[in-house]
A and B are shown apart, each in its own frame.
Chain A
């Protein structure tokens, strides 16, 4: 009993933190979302998502987040696999290398991409130096996706690597003993057993990509309007906190929806979710 009391006491700071910094603001947002400027009740801020402009940017956000997640998955899985199969003792160090870029502020790294991709940037200088035609990529949807992939890739690699590390080598060896080839082992053993990691990775990439607005601000040049940008502009430029909150709630619903879909796919008993 005393033990239980003590642990719950230790959880107090976190509980207070959650209450003040997560739950209260959520109620504030909900309050704003279901009222208008005069403070009377309305659902028009929620139904505003049906506005063609909002629908279009939500669609664009989903599309961008989806492409980003797929590219991240395609790039991350082989990396995680190679990392796992490396026969060196200090794997922690390799993983550390993957996270190292994240120690530098994310804004700075995106700003660096601006310099690389701009019309007269590093990429185009290299292209023209070797006699290839220059490309126009900065301030396009492509640049936004590139920025997101770059930013979120580690969040895909780490959970997949983690889940691969959990697979008992004996199982793989048993499969080999029973005559399964490399591909067969991969499809029937490795892939299903790393499903937890894949799902965690997908959620950790898809959710922030869906609500991101900074990357599209910096690499979209004001031409790529994601739902995050719409919400940001409602709060700042248009000073319409009610509409901004209403759209945030809708976006939250989409996040919850995508997470519940992924959770349904993940029907394994140990449920090794990262979030």
Chain B
């Protein structure tokens, strides 16, 4: 009896531990008053979502993803017909090249005028005809550092990441594209280079850096910096702003060699079944109240000009959140890699991890 009980228990435990990875699949609904939205995780204020449903009577099926690659995998799996998606610049370019985008009917948008023309202009790199996207948030990649451990002068260059004084104190960004951006900028190359010799050079620098790296992290970066487990971290500006909220010794800088400017935008994919509802959604995101609420939750730079009126001067002057003109001039937007370069950098990334 006892043995039976024990084997039952161990079976139970096996089931429990193996269950955690299962995620549910939702079937898509095709009634006219629903909308299937796909967005980054933690990228919308919950009340905004609720208010949209109350005001329009549209039921939203809201799905989230972690990284750009996850989004692509989810979309390409094809089991859900998404109506409107928010993702990053170079992925939109990739999808555009694959013919996955549907033009947006700008005439139906009341609040499109709220969007900063400068950011729309900057979107040219992935939406050259300005037909397919509406900017949602934008930001930079830079160094979040602890002022108690690192001098401001040191981090003014990406070189600081190769400083042996900070061995085991450096958190590197765990994203292939952003990680390669750092040595490419340092070497003075184009961050969108497809030249294999240049990529190899960047790869060798990253291998050289690995011995100083404490960890390659993404979402855990700010926790790691807040608890002062590391002295500096390569991360996104929003991640940095979040960390600085919790630890006042933290500061953020985009090194003088420059970095990456990224723009996350809404677009309508080919799988869209509820076009009118998708337009209503996009318009709602551009509306002042919703945009302000989202900004105060997400804490990335918003391209919505009406938000500024609701924020105090301190927030607006915060260069971590709103990068200055000079900073933006130093930053470039990623363009989509062709398949060959993508495969090549993926291989290099894998080699680096195994190094």
Contacts and interface: CB of A to CB of B under 8 A. Distances in A.
A252 interface: no
Nearest to A233: B350
A146 B65 CA distance: 30
Interface stretch (B10-18, B36-44, B259-267): B10-18
B354 A237 contact: no
Interface residues of A, number: 39
Contact of B13 (A56, A91, A99): A99
Contacts of A205: none
Interface stretch (A5-13, A38-46, A118-126): A118-126
Interface string A41-67: 000000000000100110000000000
A223 B210 contact: yes
A118 B227 contact: yes
A236 B70 contact: yes
A229 B216 CA distance: 14
A272 to B, nearest CB: 11
Nearest to B349: A237
A168 interface: no
A50 to B, nearest CB: 14
Contact of B73 (A107, A121, A230, A236): A236
B215 A223 contact: yes
Interface stretch (B1-9, B51-59, B108-116): B1-9
A232 to B, nearest CB: 11
A139 B346 CA distance: 22
A103 to B, nearest CB: 7
Interface residues of B, number: 40
Contacts of A2: none
A105 B20 contact: yes
A230 B350 contact: yes
B213 interface: yes
B229 A222 contact: no
A162 B9 CA distance: 13
Nearest to B345: A238
B12 to A, nearest CB: 8
A225 B354 contact: yes
A186 interface: no
A118 B224 contact: yes
Contact of A239 (B72, B347, B350): B72
Which residue among B6, B7, B20, B210 has the maximum number of chain A CB atoms within 10 Å of its CB? B6
B160 interface: no
Contact of A53 (B2, B3, B168, B351): B351
A228 interface: no
A102 B168 contact: no
Nearest to B6: A95
A92 B169 CA distance: 47
Contacts of A120: 227-229
A136 interface: yes
Given A162-B6, A237-B176, A154 B224 contact: no
Given A139-B214, A158-B10, A225-B353, 5 more contacts: A106-B20, A120-B228, A222-B217, A237-B69, A239-B76
Interface of A: 53, 56-57, 91-92, 95-96, 99, 102-103, 105-107, 118-121, 136, 138-139, 154-155, 158, 161-162, 165, 221-223, 225, 229-230, 233, 235-239, 274
19 contacts: A53-B354, A92-B5, A92-B6, A99-B9, A102-B17, A119-B230, A120-B228, A154-B10, A165-B2, A165-B3, A221-B214, A221-B215, A223-B210, A225-B353, A229-B353, A233-B350, A237-B176, A239-B76, A274-B7
